[in-house]
């Protein structure tokens, strides 16, 4: 069990993450940063439950990033956004001098609270469900109605008797294929896949 006070805990990823960021001028996404740390065998297995393992890895990375953001001021600014993590130097023409830590940011508050590291499986499911609802709004799905199961399965190219594991596998396959960041990706098709997956999860 982790200590209750944040100050009692030394996040082991702070310095490895700083090394990765300083060695590259590129913008990072959280999952790319996680892959880089795993490639260098810095991140250990954290939980037997795969969802909790991923959650804890993500928590440690975000916690380290927010701690670094504060530690690096005033010489450097660390932009912490899940899809755009960048280390900037003062005077590099990036508008760095205007940046300061937003202590009211609820996301920052969540990841700086070590009590949240000990989330249970149900907590993680609720967080993921909340994420998917927000993500649907982000990609343009504002309707309160959901696709019927039959139509959702058809959209994913599955039969009506598809099992949960088949649905999950097919969703991952389709999301990877149609994601807008992929060379052959298509935002509209990806949005349809997201809507179908979410309706099947509700």
Q: What is the pLDDT of residue 133?
A: 59
Question: Checking phi first, is residue 140 left (phi over 0); if not, alpha (psi -120 to 50) or beta?
Answer: left
Q: What is the pLDDT of residue 145?
A: 39
Q: What is the pLDDT of residue 62?
A: 92
Per-residue pLDDT of the chain (202 residues; tens, 9 = 90+): 333 344 556 788 888 999 999 888 888 988 888 888 888 766 777 888 887 888 888 899 999 999 999 888 888 889 898 678 998 876 545 454 556 788 888 888 889 998 888 888 777 667 666 655 555 555 554 443 344 778 888 889 988 888 888 888 888 888 888 887 777 888 888 888 888 887 776 5
Write the class of the CATH domain 140-201. Answer: mainly alpha
Find, among 123, 113, 115, the residue nearest to 1 by Cα. 115
Q: What is the pLDDT of residue 5?
A: 40
Tell me the domain boundaries of the chain. Answer: 8-119, 140-201
């Amino acid at each position: 069990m982790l200590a209750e006070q944040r100050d009692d805990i030394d996040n082991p990823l702070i310095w490895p993450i700083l090394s990765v960021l300083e060695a590259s001028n590129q913008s990072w996404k959280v999952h790319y940063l996680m892959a880089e740390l795993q490639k260098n065998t810095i991140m250990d297995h954290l939980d037997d439950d795969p969802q909790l393992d991923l959650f804890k890895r993500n928590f440690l990375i975000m916690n380290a990033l927010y701690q670094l953001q504060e530690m690096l001021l005033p010489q450097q600014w660390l932009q912490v956004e899940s899809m755009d993590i960048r280390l900037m130097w003062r005077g590099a023409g990036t508008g760095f001098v205007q940046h300061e830590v937003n202590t009211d940011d609820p996301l920052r508050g969540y990841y700086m609270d070590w009590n949240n590291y000990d989330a249970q499986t149900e907590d993680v499911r609720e967080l993921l469900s909340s994420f998917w609802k927000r993500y649907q709004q982000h990609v343009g799905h504002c309707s309160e109605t959901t696709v019927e199961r039959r139509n959702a399965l058809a959209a994913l190219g599955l039969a009506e008797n598809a099992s949960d594991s088949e649905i999950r596998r097919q969703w991952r396959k389709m999301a990877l294929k149609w994601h807008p960041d992929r060379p052959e990706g298509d935002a509209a098709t990806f949005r349809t896949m997201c809507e179908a997956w979410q309706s099947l999860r509700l």
